[in-house]
Chain A
Amino acid sequence: MALSNRQARWLLLGPAGLWYAMLLVLPLAVVLVYSFGERGAAGGYQPAFTLAQYANLATRWTAFKNTLMLAPLGTVAALLIAYPLAYFLAVRVNPRWRTLLLVLVIVPFWTSILIRSYAWIFLLGGRGIPALLADLGLGDWRLINTPFAVLVGIVYGYMPLMFFPIYVSLEKLDRKLLEAASDLGSPPWRSFVQVTLPLSLPGVATGSMLVFILLMGEYLIPQMLGGGKVFFVGNALVDLFLQSRNWAFGSAMSVTLVAVMLVVVTLYMRFLKRIGAAREDVGLM
């Protein structure tokens, strides 16, 4: 049976299109509709058209505040740790060791994030690092269930997502460009600032987008390392949908989170365009 071009196109697009419609567009539409509704008497959702849920958002301000503080902070911290590591592995290290070292970066992530977060509970908990600090006479520290603990957890958990795009952009950097910079009178550190850094910006952009967007919706790490004291919007949502069974309010919160994310991402893209990372020749994402 011969397919016309047109038929073939629909057949090829079909699965992805269906996936997109059923699992993204439809749920989003449902959430948007729910957000204008009310909580049913026995919980769940009751049709209505009211802005009451949105008016009520301020009561959940802490969740937004934590998310909007820790997601960008976590992104920046992950960037500051991942960039030097990626630079070292892609540019400096003897290629003979590169594969081994790359594997070492990945191996921890073969274990579930749940298990690794448990490990952090012990590390940051009373008998972990605080006990060590106390033994060294460095004072009394409480780490677990603080914003710091959550920050450590998210940076640790999301660092590879930052690392790999940067690694790839540094790895494909033509070394001849650095020789050219040197030939033209630029000492190594200036070559880094003027050549290496700008050319690795697409990797930085991709990595920070990935990490930031995922962090905005993070649930597990604040749950485990924040111990209910440091919670994200994601935790509030779980609480609203599963505990208080207030689906309408939960939906309004979800819609707000998506809106905030869109605004931040758009601003970030603008910024990148302005500093020149999003040029056609280097390609963004």
Chain B
Amino acid sequence: MAEFIGTTKRYGTVLAADRLNLAIRRGEFLSFLGPSGCGKTTALRMLAGFETPSDGTILIDGVEVGAMPAYRRPVNMVFQNYALFPHLTVAENVAYGLRQRRPRVAREDIATRVARALDMVRLGDFGPRRIWQMSGGQQQRVALARAIVNEPKILLLDEPMAALDAKLRAEMQVELLNLQRQLGITFVLVTHDQQEALSMSDRICLMGKGRIAQIGTPRELYDRPANRYVASFIGRANLLPATVRGVADGRVVVTLASGDQVEVAAAETVPGTAVEIAIRPESLSLSPHPVEGTPSVPAVITNRIFLGEHIEFQLTHPVLGVLQVMVPRQTERMLPGADVGATFHVLWDRGLGQILAED
């Protein structure tokens, strides 16, 4: 569908995008995720045609578009603050793209398609309204309608939900997914919100410092982070130094700095290698006593934070430092006495935890 081939963007000496290689598949929902300044917006803007790559190129449907101006590209964008035309009505905004077509699209045709697009975003009756008469959430829908009415090959979304409140954002996410399923258009979303990326995307392209850190399904990024950056950006992780002890039939046993031995997920490594292990707080559990057959590390509870569905425990171990453990609400009842100051055992079930590659 679209392909970044060694695409690089330099601003003076700053590398905003560094040799991006990525193939976007037809009909998928792909998110560029990362902190501000990671290059995700630059990548999107190069795809839209607002920036020209300094090096490498971009293909859309096999056509090289590196230097093609935005107004010739078969893609449309939903802008972060919508960028709706304040001097036009809602319907005129939506019709704008169709009116630019040459040869011209028939008037009745435009009217029909605009009405259909407005219906799709549930703004059927709002056509004659002025932009300033619309709420933030409605403006967002207008922006969406203005883009999809052109039936772009790729719909680009630049942090479209950043300005919405939490509840509206959740609604809009569901609506976007439905829309994508209906239209079958390829969606490319830029976001700094990992929840948004995890819940909506078919694949996530996680970026950092202008480079692609990892591309994969949300599950792959969460369960098998490629490196320390991915592990700490997506979700939360305890990062622990360790030494590989033994590798056998897809089983990897490591020795933590504390001397305890745990089994982690399979990885390509050899005994004796110094590695870093990432384990999610919800993969660990707590017990007042050691449990037969399950490795555990004793540590002192230093914080207990109520989060609604979960309780977060922070425990301190003299060698390993702070360990975060996330306990579901129901399980908490089975942990009497788990208060600040008490010593509990942090249980490490077999096969959990991931050896991280170097960044």
Q: Is the CB of B132 within 8 A of A281?
A: yes
Binds B, one of A5-13, A79-87, A183-191, A225-233: A183-191
- Asked whether any CB of chain A lies closer than 8 Å to the CB of B131, the reply is yes
Q: Is the CB of A180 within 8 A of B83?
A: yes
Contact with A along B91-112 (1 / 0, CB 8 A): 0000011001100000000000
- Asked whether any CB of chain B lies closer than 8 Å to the CB of A279, the reply is yes
Residues of B within 8 A of A174 (CB): 83
Q: Which of B81, B86, B96, B130 contacts A181 (CB under 8 A)?
A: B96
- Asked whether any CB of chain A lies closer than 8 Å to the CB of B85, the reply is yes
A182 and B97 alpha carbons, distance in the complex (Å): 9
- Asked whether any CB of chain A lies closer than 8 Å to the CB of B7, the reply is no
- Asked whether any CB of chain B lies closer than 8 Å to the CB of A25, the reply is no
Contact with B along A249-284 (1 / 0, CB 8 A): 000000000000000000000000000100111100
Binds A, one of B25-33, B69-77, B313-321: B69-77
Residues of A within 8 A of B306 (CB): none
A179 and B83 alpha carbons, distance in the complex (Å): 8
Chain B nearest CB: distance from A63 CB in Å? 40
Q: Is the CB of B100 within 8 A of A179?
A: no
Q: Which of A179, A199, A280 contacts B50 (CB under 8 A)?
A: A179
Residues of B within 8 A of A280 (CB): 130, 132
Chain A interface, number of residues (Cβ within 8 angstroms):
22
Task: Give residues 91-147 of B contacting A (CB, 8 Å).
Answer: 96-97, 100-101, 130-132, 146
Q: Is the CB of A176 within 8 A of B150?
A: no
- Asked whether any CB of chain A lies closer than 8 Å to the CB of B48, the reply is yes
The interface size bin for chain B is 20 to 34
A225 and B86 alpha carbons, distance in the complex (Å): 44
Q: Is the CB of A281 within 8 A of B130?
A: yes
A220 and B305 alpha carbons, distance in the complex (Å): 79
Chain B nearest CB: distance from A76 CB in Å? 23
Q: A184-B76, A195-B85, A282-B87 are in contact. Are A179 and B70 (CB under 8 A)?
A: yes
Q: A184-B76, A184-B150 are in contact. Are A198 and B96 (CB under 8 A)?
A: no
A86 and B100 alpha carbons, distance in the complex (Å): 27
Q: Is the CB of B100 within 8 A of A186?
A: yes
Residues of A within 8 A of B130 (CB): 279-281
Q: A179-B50, A280-B132 are in contact. Are A185 and B83 (CB under 8 A)?
A: no
Looking at chain A's contact residues, is the secondary structure mostly helix, strand, loop, or mixed? Answer: helix
- Asked whether any CB of chain B lies closer than 8 Å to the CB of A177, the reply is yes
Among A181, A184, A279: residue with most chain B CB under 10 A: A184
- Asked whether any CB of chain A lies closer than 8 Å to the CB of B233, the reply is no
Task: Give residues 177-216 of A contacting B (CB, 8 Å).
Answer: 177, 179-187, 190, 194-195, 198-199
Q: Is the CB of B77 within 8 A of A183?
A: yes
Q: Is the CB of A184 within 8 A of B86?
A: no
- Asked whether any CB of chain A lies closer than 8 Å to the CB of B79, the reply is yes
A176 and B132 alpha carbons, distance in the complex (Å): 17
Q: Which of B75, B85, B132 contacts A177 (CB under 8 A)?
A: B85
Which of chain B's residues has its CB closest to A277's CB?
A: B87
Which of chain A's residues has its CB closest to B48's CB?
A: A183
Chain A nearest CB: distance from B248 CB in Å? 56
Residues of B within 8 A of A194 (CB): 96
Q: Is the CB of A182 within 8 A of B69?
A: yes
Residues of A within 8 A of B76 (CB): 183-184
Residues of A within 8 A of B70 (CB): 179, 182-183
Q: Is the CB of A184 within 8 A of B87?
A: no
Q: Is the CB of A199 within 8 A of B86?
A: yes
Chain B nearest CB: distance from A32 CB in Å? 41
A186 and B88 alpha carbons, distance in the complex (Å): 15
Which of chain A's residues has its CB closest to B45's CB?
A: A179
Q: Is the CB of B87 within 8 A of A281?
A: yes
Task: Give residues 30-88 of B contacting A (CB, 8 Å).
Answer: 48-50, 69-72, 75-77, 79, 81, 83-87
Q: Is the CB of A186 within 8 A of B79?
A: no
A281 and B85 alpha carbons, distance in the complex (Å): 11
Q: Is the CB of A281 within 8 A of B69?
A: no
Chain A nearest CB: distance from B87 CB in Å? 5
Chain B nearest CB: distance from A275 CB in Å? 11
Q: Is the CB of B79 within 8 A of A185?
A: no
Q: Is the CB of B131 within 8 A of A281?
A: yes
Q: A176-B79, A179-B50, A281-B131 are in contact. Are A185 and B97 (CB under 8 A)?
A: yes
Q: A183-B77, A185-B71, A187-B71 are in contact. Are A199 and B87 (CB under 8 A)?
A: yes
Chain A residues within CB distance 8 Å of chain B:
174, 176-177, 179-187, 190, 194-195, 198-199, 276, 279-282
User: Could you list 23 examples of A-B contacts with CB < 8 Å?
Assistant: A176-B81, A176-B83, A179-B50, A179-B70, A179-B79, A180-B77, A180-B84, A181-B71, A183-B48, A183-B70, A184-B100, A184-B146, A184-B150, A185-B97, A185-B101, A186-B100, A187-B71, A194-B96, A195-B85, A199-B86, A276-B87, A280-B130, A282-B87
Add 10 more A-B contacts to A182-B70, A184-B96 (CB < 8 A): A179-B50, A180-B84, A183-B71, A183-B75, A183-B77, A185-B72, A185-B97, A195-B87, A280-B132, A281-B130
Q: What 5 A-B pairs have minimum CB-CB distances, sorted nearest first?
A: A185-B100, A184-B97, A176-B83, A180-B83, A182-B70
Chain B residues within CB distance 8 Å of chain A:
48-50, 69-72, 75-77, 79, 81, 83-87, 96-97, 100-101, 130-132, 146, 150
